[in-house]
A and B are shown apart, each in its own frame.
Chain A
Amino acid sequence: MAAEMKFAKTHEWIRPEADGVATVGISAYAVEALTDLVFMQLPAVGKKVKAGESFGEIESVKAVSDLYAPVSGEIVAVNTALPGQLDLLGKDPYGAGWVMKIRPDDPAEMSALLDQAAYDAVIKNASH
């Protein structure tokens, strides 16, 4: 995984790409915890979100979970292949299983997120 990937406590990851856009997805830990994925609701391209706001849903047999924007910005792309192929999330959560791309209002917001080591510590402490 790229060194500049950051994580939210709510288990979304964000990776800055070229042109000021960042890719957002769900961490491998969260995907593994969900199991039995059946449905995903993606946002519309162009939607503006604030950090911490829900931008979509992922549903397993047992429950629905919100997906939370790690930073504020405008959603510029969504992975339309994903809802019909949810196993991509488990197979390649940081690559083909990407969820959406966002143009952050303020790239500095990402520095407040958890780096890999800090996120690993969070999930180590989480009871399961």
Chain B
Amino acid sequence: MTDSLLRTPLCTWHESHGGRMVDFAGWWMPVQYASIVDEHLAARNAAGLFDVSHMGRLAIDGPDSQAWLESLLTRRVSDMLPGQCRYTLVTSDAGSADGLAVLDDALVAREADAADGSPRMSMVVNASNRAAVVAWLRSRLPKAGVTLVDRTSDTAMIAVQGPLAVALVCGLCPPADAERIRGLGVYRATQAVVAGVPAAVSRTGYTGEDGVEVVVPAAEATSVWEAILTAGADRGARACGLGARDTLRLEAGMPLYGHELQATSDPFALGLGLAVNLETPSGSSREFPGAASLRRMKSHAADRVRVGLAFDSKRSAREGSLVVAAGGTADTPLGIVTSGSFAPSLGHAVAMALVDRSAAAAGTMVDVMIRDAAQPARVVPLPFYRRPAARG
């Protein structure tokens, strides 16, 4: 059965280092090595290494590549310069009654230009949505001017996250590359030689920590991974699995497609309006698949909005748990949990939920039905966790 699962270039390493492997979106991935809590805290206090090679990496090249994405994505890309990354949604207007299906959330980047001066673009998409996004994009490709290549299986992607992450990676680069990486602002990227391997390095992540995501050829993945881990081991750097990846992103208030974000979601209700540019900088309308529906959503505020919930116990609500008024019952829910877990950096359980606007003000007390027991929770602003004041 596990023979049909996809393996990242680092799978053998995970298996031989205590990785507890599971099927995640059709990939054989480590949930944890020893302890999710230990791995989570390593990323917060030192550096965590995450194999995120399962995520889809798409290369979009050709003279019309940037303009084509401008016509397709919810986010403006036409004004992106080489080395910039932006968070966007991928929306289609195909096959839905009201003209909008959110297919994924993604990072789009402009790479260094091609030798002939054409722009080169890239996207990183969720593993679970790669097939659907690629099919959608291919269905919209023009006959010429744009090429789309799925680079996922040629490459590996390693996220290094935490207060020591940037220094750790820079220590494995030539001085000029290290200087350039240190100088990257968030959502900026560069090319660098990391542990002897040419890599794309972006100052991005999914943890709320400082750090980078490093893309290397698949054949070099293990040597780069081991070089980073070895260099940082005595300072607390640790390999981290998907379990810690989830608790980290939850504490950071970051959405996960399939949980907070779904095909029929209202991005504005989720607080993801920054991913939707309905206008150009000069104020003229941007048109892209689903734009009309998004305009309607923006002008007609949704009934339910995303909030954070903090519990005073460690008992966790999970996705699907009903939110009810304090002292209320499951017969009259006023919301639903989209993600929930114990938060290792906080010492108590937290959840993200979609709740009625009437219950969305910070400080509102609600009950959450956890296996038929009502657990009190307080609405709190997101994120739950902010890292201590940043680099100098």
Binding site for B on A (CB under 8 A): 35-36, 38-39, 41, 57, 59, 61-62, 64, 128
Contacts and interface: CB of A to CB of B under 8 A. Distances in A.
A62 B371 contact: no
Contact of B243 (A41, A59, A62, A64): A62
B31 interface: yes
Number of chain B interface residues as a range:
10 to 19
Contacts of A61: 36-37, 243, 247, 341-342, 344
Contacts of A41: 315
Q: Which of A35, A57, A61, A128 has the most CB of B within 10 A?
A: A61
A39 B316 contact: yes
Given A61-B342, A128-B20, A39 B314 contact: yes
Interface string B14-49: 000000100000000001101111000000000000
- The main secondary structure of chain A at its interface with chain B is strand
A39 B371 contact: no
B340 to A, nearest CB: 11
Given A36-B36, A61-B247, 17 more contacts: A35-B32, A35-B35, A36-B342, A38-B314, A38-B316, A38-B342, A39-B316, A59-B314, A59-B315, A59-B342, A61-B36, A61-B37, A61-B243, A61-B341, A62-B243, A64-B316, A128-B20
Given A64-B371, A128-B20, A36 B313 contact: no
Contacts, number: 39
Contacts of B314: 38-39, 59
A38 B341 CA distance: 10
A41 B32 CA distance: 25
Nearest to B21: A128
A61 B34 CA distance: 13
A38 B316 CA distance: 9
B212 to A, nearest CB: 26
B31 A62 contact: yes
A59 B371 CA distance: 12
Contacts of B243: 36, 61-62
Contacts of A39: 313-316, 342
B348 to A, nearest CB: 9
A61 B349 CA distance: 10
Contact of B371 (A35, A36, A57): A57
> Lowest 5 CB-CB distances: which A-B pairs, in order?
A38-B314, A38-B342, A39-B315, A61-B36, A39-B314
Contact of B316 (A35, A59, A128): A59
